[in-house]
Amino acid sequence: MLEFIIGLYEGFLANPAVEIWQDPAYFIQNVAGGLMVGILYSLVALGYVLIYKASGVFNFAQPMMAIFATLALIMFHDKVLFPAIGTGYGLTIVLAIIGSMVMMLILALLVERLMLRPLVNQPEIILFMATIGLYYFLEGFGETMFNKIANSPVPMESLGMEIGPFFVGGVMFQKVDATAAAVAAVMVILLAVMFQKTSVGRALRAVADDHQAALSVGIPLSVMWVVVWVVAGAVALVSGLMWGASAGAVDFGMVFVALKALPVLILGGFTSIPGVIIGGLIIGVGERIAEIYWSPYLGDSIESWFAYILALIVLIYRPEGLFGEKLIERI
């Protein structure tokens, strides 16, 4: 028994600590790498939080929206605009982004009209089921529409993104990852200000809290839903672009990586924007470090399950997540 405990101690704490001590640069390298992956998880999770906060709907289709929006952008860019006007001093990419966002706007209008409005005041689980339907619709429709460009790379050059590593104090970073992190940071700040400081944000929070009360003060429910689905569409586009850039190409298989957003949500709390950012970072770094230092004892592919175990532990001790709002219910 004692031997077993000592073994655990050596394997999980002492040996990793010695390894870190002997090669700190390698450790920092991996922490940095983990942070970069984490911020990508956070971006996908952010889309879920937005829609959940504003309409109480857990949008299962969010990662599919990311792939859909990104493929739409690539299609506009590669097949329509680039052949016609070349790089056009950045005009191509701007038009492609607008084109993709118009598609997300149309999607938002259709979702509000055909899905949310008929299901108003229904239990959350019904709306959740509807978003599963949306997921498969987007997958099928997307495969038909974009089958020629699936597996295409993101137009890095037009976006002004560079590929390759750079070094800070002997630690290697990928330029793509750094760009993604910067974009994510800017988005999070913008969204936080919008939600907390503006009247649109207040109206969105009001709608999330109580549909009837929101209606009674004259908040137009349907407009707010369209607004939030468009914003979630924008987040989807950005997260799809960043994932695609760091993975090399965009295809429908990316959706499985996006599943990591679920433990991020559980960890950070479904209603907290800062929560999902920190949740994403914790999971990104945690799984990378665990993979490297614990794989001699737990076997390989820790990265594929670590996030879920972590989420499970959080669920047991803090079901509202690290930063989520505690539910107060009067009985």
Partner 1 sequence: MNATARKKANENAETMLSVEHVSLSFGGVKAIRNVSFDIRKGEIRAIIGPNGAGKTSMLNVINGFYHPQEGTITFKGEKRSDMRPHIAATQGIARTFQNVALFKGMTTLDNIMSGRTLRMKRNMFWQALYFGPARREELEHREYVEEVIDFLEIQHIRRQPVGKLPYGLQKRVELGRALAMEPDLLLLDEPMAGMNLEEKEDMSRFVIDVSEEFGTTVALIEHDMGVVMDLSDRVVVLDHGVLIADGTPDEVQSNQDVIDAYLGISH
Residues from 220 through 249 that contact partner 1 (CB under 8 A): 220, 223, 227
Using the rule CB under 8 A, is 22 a contact of partner 1? no
Using the rule CB under 8 A, is 106 a contact of partner 1? no
CB of 216 to partner 1, least distance (A): 5
Run of H or E including 81: none
Cβ contact 243:257 at 8 Å:
yes
- Give the burial string for 246-268 (b: 16+ CB within 10 Å, else e): bbeebbbebbeebebbbbbbbbb
Could you give the CA distance from residue 41 to residue 277 in angstroms, rounded to a whole number? 8
Residue closer to partner 1, measured from CB, 195 or 293: 195
Q: Which stretch binds partner 1 (CB under 8 A): 18-26, 195-203, 237-245, 275-283?
A: 195-203
Among 203, 234, 282, 314, binds partner 1 (CB under 8 A): 203
Residue closer to partner 1, measured from CB, 180 or 273: 273
Give long-range contacts, CB 8 A cutoff, 24+ apart: 194-197: 195/53, 195/273
Residue closer to partner 1, measured from CB, 55 or 179: 55
User: What is the CA 117 to chain-centroid distance, rounded?
Assistant: 26
Q: The dihedral of CA 206, 212, 215, 220: what is its sign?
A: positive
Which two three-digit tokens encode residue 161? 């993104």
Which two three-digit tokens encode residue 28? 């920092």
Cβ contact 205:213 at 8 Å:
no
Residue closer to partner 1, measured from CB, 193 or 259: 193
Using the rule CB under 8 A, is 209 a contact of partner 1? yes
Among 113, 117, 148, 202, binds partner 1 (CB under 8 A): 202
Among 10, 157, 162, 210, binds partner 1 (CB under 8 A): 210
CB of 236 to partner 1, least distance (A): 18
Helix, strand, or coil (residue 167)? strand
Which two three-digit tokens encode residue 170? 């002997």
Residues at the contact surface with partner 1, assessed by CB under 8 A: 193-194, 197-203, 205-206, 208-210, 212-220, 223, 227, 271, 325, 328, 330
